């Protein structure tokens, strides 16, 4: 069974930093990319970042470029999201998402249960 378990969400001050982690199990982690997607309270989905299976390709949304850093450790089957200079609008549930690849195309096929980040002054 594919499992993605996020951790690290908490209440953090505006301007502060936080590191989210995602532990993957139930599949061959090294054969899939990983992404982070967030959802602000009562709002829609917002993609944040993607990292390929070998960390050779990394993408970021403009809204987090320069503030967030994605990384992965294939030996530990984990992917992290380092978040700096946090703003009120970063308050959201953050999902770790397994990212499949087919015909030159990426898709989000399994989602974690999410971890809540609250940014407050």
Partner 1 sequence: SYKLTQPPSVSVSPGQTATITCSGEKLGDKYACWYRQKAGQSPVLVIYQDNMRPSWIPERFSGSNSGNTATLTISATQAMDEADYYCQAWDSTTAEFGGGTKLTVL
Paired sense of beta strands 92-102 and 105-111, if any: antiparallel
Q: How far is the CB of 41 from partner 1 (least distance, A)?
A: 13
- Residue 9 binds to partner 1 (criterion: CB under 8 A): no
Q: What is d(CA 102, CA 84) in angstroms, rounded to the nearest whole number?
A: 33
Q: Choose, by CB under 8 A, the member of 1, 56, 66, 105 that binds partner 1.
A: 105
- Which 55-84 residues touch partner 1, going by CB under 8 A? 59, 61-62
Nearest to partner 1 of 29, 94 (CB atom): 94
- Residue 101 binds to partner 1 (criterion: CB under 8 A): no
Q: DSSP code of 55?
A: S
Residue 96 near residue 32 (C-beta atoms within 8 A) = no
- Residue 31 binds to partner 1 (criterion: CB under 8 A): no
Q: Which residue has the tokens 């829609």?
A: 44
Q: How many CB atoms lie within 10 A of CB 95?
A: 23
**Given the rule CB under 8 A, which residues bind partner 1?**
35, 37, 44-47, 50, 59, 61-62, 95, 100, 102-103, 105-114
């Amino acid at each position: 069974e594919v499992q993605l378990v996020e951790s690290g969400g908490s209440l953090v001050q505006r301007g502060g930093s936080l590191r989210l982690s995602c532990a993957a199990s139930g599949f061959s982690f090294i054969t899939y990319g990983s992404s982070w997607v967030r959802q602000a309270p009562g709002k829609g989905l917002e993609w944040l970042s993607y990292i390929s299976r070998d960390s050779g390709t990394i993408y970021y949304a403009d809204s987090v470029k320069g503030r967030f850093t994605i990384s992965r450790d294939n030996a530990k089957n984990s992917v992290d999201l380092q978040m700096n200079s946090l703003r009120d609008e970063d308050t959201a549930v953050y999902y770790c998402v397994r990212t499949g690849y087919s015909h030159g195309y990426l898709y989000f096929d399994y989602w974690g249960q999410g971890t809540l980040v609250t940014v407050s002054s």
